[in-house]
Amino acid sequence: MSPLVSARLDDRAARMWLALVVQPGDELVGHLVGHWGAPEVATRLASGKPLPRNLVSSRVASVLAQRYQSVPPLSAIARTQRIIEARGLGITIPGDPHWPTQLGDLGSAAPLLLCSAGDLRVVSAHRARVAIVGTRKPSSEAVMATREIAAGQVRSGRTIVSGGARGIDATAHAVALEFGVPTVAVVAQSPDRPYPPEHRGLLGNIAQSGVVLGETLPGVKRGPEGFLARNRLIAALSNLTVVTEAPRRSGAISTAAHAAKLQRDVVAVTYPNHHSRNDGALRILEQWAATELAWPE
């Protein structure tokens, strides 16, 4: 590795600065961080100077310059750290005691850090986890199926992981809370910025016994791409992904695709009397090595 441009910028600080700048799952930046370290990459991007030719090709340097033309100064790290501490959030980076090592399966798309509210040991412990995801506008049958599947997983000792969204996600989290066991909400925004806003109470309850986590820091707002990017984290944190109902094009389908790519087990729930609501399940069954669960069993 070449010498760091600034010896004062350690790995944690550099990753925090990069998390303020870099889009979630940027594999180019992830690749550079993996090879040359976060301090080298952060200091170069912050200075506006391209990474030297011995680090990257001119084409890669040009791509980075175009992607990140306007960036905050390195002093933004201290300001962000104060906000994080004031809001009772935690920052965890690779190598920390409670970093979920299964995120390493994402390779260059792994998150630079995790920002969390609650107990991150829920995802760092060697315990089976199941992602239960689906549409924000579920049918009554899908809600019933989600509740029963989630309850069965909880009784089997597995931790429920979902995205904290309306519909299927909220139903799965609620079942875990009803059983009094921890659940994991992976969010696209900072954990202190509930989305949707009406889930402030739900996410607060999750953080009390489980954890709300993501890769977005306070003050950073993510658009639709942030919600799609967080789906890779849901898949990576889970041994199994269950889609209980979803349109053919949806975030839940994205989660299933990530799970299949990571060689995690995927289950798609189908309903005999609701053919139009089986579109997402049929796509999963057609495209990936998924297991069909016909409901009711």
Looking at residue 53, its pLDDT comes to 61
The tens digit of pLDDT for each residue in 206-260 reads 999 999 999 999 999 888 888 999 999 999 999 999 999 999 999 999 999 999 9
The tens digit of pLDDT for each residue in 121-150 reads 999 887 899 999 999 999 999 999 999 999
Q: Indicate if the pLDDT at residue 77 is higher than 80.
A: yes
Q: What rounded mean pLDDT belongs to the chain?
A: 91
Burial class (CB in 10 A: 0-12, 13-18, 19+), 64: buried
Kindly list the strands in the beta sheet with 240-245, ordered across the sheet, starting from the edge strand earlier in the chain: 90-92, 114-118, 211-214, 183-186, 159-162, 129-134, 240-245, 265-270, 291-294
Q: Indicate if the pLDDT at residue 292 is higher than 90.
A: yes
* Rounded Cα–Cα distance for residues 13 and 34 (Å): 16
Lowest mean pLDDT among 33-42, 155-164, 195-204, 235-244: 33-42
| DSSP states along 173-235 | HHHHHHHT--EEEE-SS-TTS-SSGGGHHHHHHHHHHSEEEESPPTT----HHHHHHHHHHHH
Q: Indicate if the pLDDT at residue 184 is higher than 90.
A: yes
Looking at residue 265, its pLDDT comes to 98
Looking at residue 251, its pLDDT comes to 93
Mean pLDDT of all residues in 43-69: 70
pLDDT grade, residue 70 (50/70/90)? confident
